[in-house]
Each structure stands twice: as C-alpha cells, then as structure tokens.
C-alpha cells in the first residue's frame, strides 16, 4: 500500500527555497484569475514552514495543475510538484474538501467519478442507450480490477 507523505520531501523543500517571490507564477495563474488562489503565497508559506496554515487552507485546492506557473518560473521551481506534495500531506492529515471527497467516494463506489442517477438511467433507456454508460461501472471485471488498484494504493482507506 502507498502511504501519503506526512512531510514535504527534501527535494521539494529545497526547490521551494529557490523561489525569490517574483510573482510571475501568480500573475500567469488561470485559477488565480477566478479564485482567491495565489500560488506565490502558498510557496512563501512553505518556505516559512507554515505547515498547518497551508494544509488547512482552501487555497491549496484551487490549483488546476495546468503547469503555467512552472513554464513561466524564471528559477524553474517545480511549483506543481510542491502543491501536489502539500495536498498529499493535507489528505494524510485528514484535510480534504467535501467536493473532492464526494468525487473520490464515487470512484470507489461506482468506478467512475460521476454516479448514474436513476432518472438518468431511465432517460438513457428512453433514448435507446444502455442504462449505464460504457464506464467501469458497466464492466464488472474492470470494476474488480479498479477496486484492487484503489485498495493497493491506499485510496479506498483515504476515502473511508
């Protein structure tokens, strides 16, 4: 089983130290244009060791991992890797947005991130489509394989 990291890796911590807070990442961030997300702030908080503040922050989950910040960073700081490490730490400590937990729960339960509601199944049937779309949910062998993967990686345990 894979265990989420409880601490940020030395490699990522060292990379965060390379950031000199120029703000290029924040200026180019598509998520930052629509949310309170300021990637520079998260990196600075990591530099200052503000672990609890970061892990409990809603902003940590605003990054779409588009890599715009990484592509534009003059110091080539692996910002998305830092965000992913911090998210893994947050999940390991029980911090997860309700929306993400719901999506993860659907994956475990249905083999797909979107469940098929009864009314949708009926509409699909009326349209001549199979009641269940051709996802893992429609394939018991694939669902069994997915269940094994989710259990082996510890994903199922995180969702419980």
CATH number for position 82:
1.10.1060.10
Q: Is residue 2 part of a domain?
A: no
The answer to whether 111 and 135 are in contact (CB under 8 A) is yes
Based on the fold, state whether residues 44 and 102 are members of the same structural domain.
no
Q: For residue 4, is pLDDT > 90?
A: no
Q: What is the mean pLDDT of the chain?
A: 89
> Do 84 and 50 share a structural domain?
yes
Domain that holds residue 103: 98-159
Would you place residue 6 in the very low, low, confident or very high pLDDT band (cuts 50, 70, 90)? low
**Are 80 and 86 contacting, i.e. CB atoms less than 8 angstroms apart?**
no
Q: Is residue 22 part of a domain?
A: yes
Number of domains in the chain: 2
Which pLDDT tens digit goes with each residue over 79-98? 999 999 999 889 888 898 88
Higher pLDDT, 144 or 112: 144
Residue range 115-153, pLDDT digits in tens: 888 899 899 999 999 998 888 888 999 999 999 999 999
Q: Is 34 helix (H, G, I), strand (E, B) or coil?
A: helix
CA distance 5 to 2: 9
Residue 21 lies in a domain: yes
**Is residue 49 domain-resident?**
yes
102 and 86 part of one domain: no
Among 139, 151, 105, smallest CA distance to 2 is for 151
Burial 76-112 (b: 16+ CB within 10 A, else e): ebbbbbbbebbbbbbbbeebbeeeeeeebebbbebbb
SS3 at position 82? helix
Which of 36, 65, 92 is at the close of a domain?
92
């Amino acid at each position: 089983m894979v265990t989420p990291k409880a601490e940020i890796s030395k490699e990522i911590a060292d990379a965060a130290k390379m950031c000199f807070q120029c703000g290029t990442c924040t200026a180019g961030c598509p998520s930052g244009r629509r949310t309170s997300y300021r990637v520079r702030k998260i990196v600075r908080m990591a530099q200052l060791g503000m672990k609890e503040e970061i892990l409990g922050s809603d902003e940590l989950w605003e990054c779409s991992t588009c890599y715009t910040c990484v592509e534009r960073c003059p110091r080539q700081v692996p910002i998305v890797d830092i965000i992913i490490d911090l998210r893994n730490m947050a999940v390991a400590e029980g911090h997860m947005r309700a929306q993400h937990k719901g999506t993860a729960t659907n994956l475990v339960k249905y083999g797909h991130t979107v469940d098929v509601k009864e009314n949708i199944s009926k509409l699909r049937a009326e349209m001549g489509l199979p009641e269940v779309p051709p996802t893992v949910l429609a394939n018991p062998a694939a669902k069994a394989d997915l269940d094994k993967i989710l259990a082996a990686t510890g994903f199922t345990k995180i969702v419980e």
